[in-house]
Structures are given as structure tokens and as C-alpha cells.
Amino acid sequence: ELFEEVARDRELRKELKDASDMQAQLLPNIAPQLAGCQIAGRCLAARAVCGDYYDFFKLPGQRVGLAVGDVCGRGMPASLLMAELQSQVRTQAPTTESLGELLRRINRQLYRAAQGSKYCTFFFGIYDCARRRLEFVNAGHNPPLLVGPRAFRFLESTGLPLGLFPEVSHEARVETLDPGAILVLYSDGLLEARNARGETYGVERLVSVLTRARDGD
């Protein structure tokens, strides 16, 4: 019995490792090269698999799609819904002109997939490098932080998270980025990270670090 238990444990660990590797392949490994802006991203999962998701990809006309999402819950169910979200974004974004319509389509698919039992927060923006123009929608996600030369502001929610209800409505907003501005998209794992004293990282530290680093790359 002990041998069988050890064997099952090894098999489970292997399956989790395989799932983790597959999930990592869904995330972008090369940032788009566009004149006038730099893009970078990273995901550090607290477990083998997670429900966090980010993406960036080129669109026609010196534009780039920027996405970040967080499926409620942890483990395999969250990672599977994350994969569905990634698939829908990559499929729908290049052909959907309205960001509000894009979220409606993605929401319908996620609602069908999870039957309202799970939901995800989600931010999606299209940045036009030539005009320094960001059009975005925010489905209940942690508000991205836009750090400019003199001040910072948050890109607040434009509506409900995705997957909870059959239909949602979002109206896109627009921001013009100053030269040298930093836009940070993140999930709550960043803000909730704790140090040895049990203190959370929090919004204040994030703002402080980015304000000091605003002249860097």
C-alpha cells in the first residue's frame, strides 16, 4: 500500500508539472517590438497551475493588444477557464472593432463554459503607439496603474467581471499616454504578497516603486 501511495504521489506530481508547463506555453514568451514603446510581462504562479493570465500581441497599424485577467479560485479548474479566456481573446480581438462587443462575446463563451459557477476579472486595452492612445475596458479587474511624468492615476473598472451573467455591458474609455509614461497591469497576487513580518505589499508600495523607477526602461 505504501508503494502504491508513493507511485500515485509521483504520478500526481508529474501531471501537475505537465499542466504547469502547458499553461506556461499559453503565456507570451516574446514581447512585440514596436517603435516608441517597450513591453514586458511575467507570471509567477503560487501553485503549479493558476488562474492568472496576461497577454500582448501585435495588431494592424502599429497597435498592440494588452490583456490581464484573473479567474476566481485556484488549481486546475481556474487554469482551464484561463485557457478558455486566452483562446477567446486571441480569436476575437483581431476581428472585433468594438471593445464593448469584444467583452460581450467573451463573456457569453465563459458563461457557457462555466455555467455561472466561476468568473474572471479582466482588463483589455489596445495601445496605438503612433498616437500614444490607449483604448480600454476593465471588467472588475485590479485597476492598472498609469504613471506619468508628474502624477499617477488608476484605470478603474468599466463594468462587471466576466462569466457571472449571460450578458454584460462595458463602455470603452480612452487615455492618452505622455512620453515616458509607465502602464502597469497586474493581478491581486502582487498586492497580496507578504513579507516575513506578514505585511502585504499593497498599493502604496507599488506606487512608490514605480514613481522612483519612472525614468527607467
Higher pLDDT: 20 or 192? It is 192
**pLDDT, tens digit, for every residue of 73-108?**
666 677 778 888 888 998 999 988 899 999 999 999
Q: Provide mean pLDDT across the span 3-7.
A: 57
Total-model pTM: 0.84
- pLDDT value, residue 48: 47
Residue 153 CA to residue 214 CA, distance in Å, equals 14
pLDDT > 90: percent of the chain: 51
- pLDDT value, residue 215: 80
Joined grid coordinates for residue 211:
514613481
- Kind of pairing, strands 63-71 and 52-59? antiparallel
**Of 114, 123, 121, which is closest to residue 93 (Cα–Cα)?**
123
